[in-house]
């Protein structure tokens, strides 16, 4: 099943309507870095967040790094971790929820904000299911076979001819495999395949 970018964008469009003050989504977090990020928080807030290195003290990031499930920002703030939330509120991000999904060694998360009220339980359940769907939709590893990954690694820094020699197969077979991978990932060409594989930390 290829990555359906239209479906991903439809999910994100719906989340934008649910989260008037934005969201930050990280998919397939490995080695503390997500393979994909989607951010619709206000630019001014993100600028301050980065300038002051809030990630170091952000209770949201601490929570998603170790937990799975869902929690409201207000619950985290009650644990005495509210400084970042207080600063966020100055930019309108007054209410929020965090969800995290774990599948093997891959973790995906979302932090969502409103300015008018808390997210209700049904909304939080939807946010969690949306992150689970986005996790599946963008899971490149699940879409590639062992031979697909071997082929991508072989063509990463050499010609198809040299890759064929390395793999012990005909060059036409390498080209056929790349064509199959391109369709699976909806990539334009071999260069984009390699780029997507690097983003997913496959190579």
Q: How open is the CA angle 73-7-122, to the nearest 5 degrees? A: 35
Based on the fold, state whether residues 170 and 133 are members of the same structural domain.
Answer: no
Is 52 found in the same domain as 89? Answer: yes
CATH of the domain at 103: 3.30.450.80
pLDDT digits (tens, 9 = 90+) for 136-194: 888 877 778 889 999 999 999 999 999 999 999 999 999 999 999 988 887 888 888 88
- Is residue 175 located within the same domain as residue 127? no
Query: Closest Cα to residue 127, out of 10, 15, 9?
Result: 15
29-72 pLDDT, tens digit per residue, is 866 678 789 999 999 999 999 999 999 999 999 999 999 999 99
Judge if 82 and 39 occupy the same domain.
Answer: yes
Tokens of 175: 């080209």
- Total domain count for the chain? 2
- Is 40 in the same domain as 26? yes
Whether 134 and 147 map to the same domain: the answer is: no
pTM for the predicted model, two decimal places: 0.75
- The reply to whether 159 and 65 lie within a common domain is no
Residues 59, 131 share a domain: yes
Residues 69 and 114 occupy one common structural domain: yes
Tell which of 122, 138, 154 closes a domain. Answer: 138
d(C-alpha 16, C-alpha 130), whole Å: 12
Q: Which domain holds residue 76?
A: 5-138
Bridge partners of residue 112, in order along the sequence: 23, 97
Boundary (domain end) residue, out of 138, 158, 173? 138
Residues 127 and 182 in one domain: no
**CATH number of the domain residue 169 falls in:** 1.10.10.10
Give the end of a domain, one of 92, 119, 138.
138
């Amino acid at each position: 099943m290829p990555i359906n970018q239209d479906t991903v964008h439809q999910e994100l469009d719906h989340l934008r309507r649910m989260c008037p003050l934005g969201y930050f989504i990280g998919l397939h977090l490995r080695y503390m870095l997500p393979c994909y990020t989607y951010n619709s928080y206000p630019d001014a807030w993100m600028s301050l967040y980065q300038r002051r290195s809030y990630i170091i003290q952000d209770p949201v990031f601490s929570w998603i790094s170790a937990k799975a499930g869902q929690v409201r920002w207000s619950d985290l703030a009650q644990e005495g971790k509210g400084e970042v939330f207080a600063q966020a509120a100055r930019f309108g991000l007054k209410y929020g929820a965090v969800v995290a999904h774990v599948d093997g060694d891959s973790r995906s998360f979302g932090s969502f904000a409103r300015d008018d009220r808390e997210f209700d339980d049904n909304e939080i359940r939807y946010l969690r299911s949306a992150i689970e769907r986005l996790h599946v939709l963008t899971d490149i590893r699940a879409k590639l076979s062992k031979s697909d990954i071997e082929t991508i690694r072989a063509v990463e820094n050499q010609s198809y001819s040299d890759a064929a020699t390395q793999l012990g197969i005909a060059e036409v077979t390498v080209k056929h495999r790349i064509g199959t991978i391109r369709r699976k990932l909806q990539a334009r060409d071999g260069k984009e395949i390699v780029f997507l594989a690097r983003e997913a930390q496959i190579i």
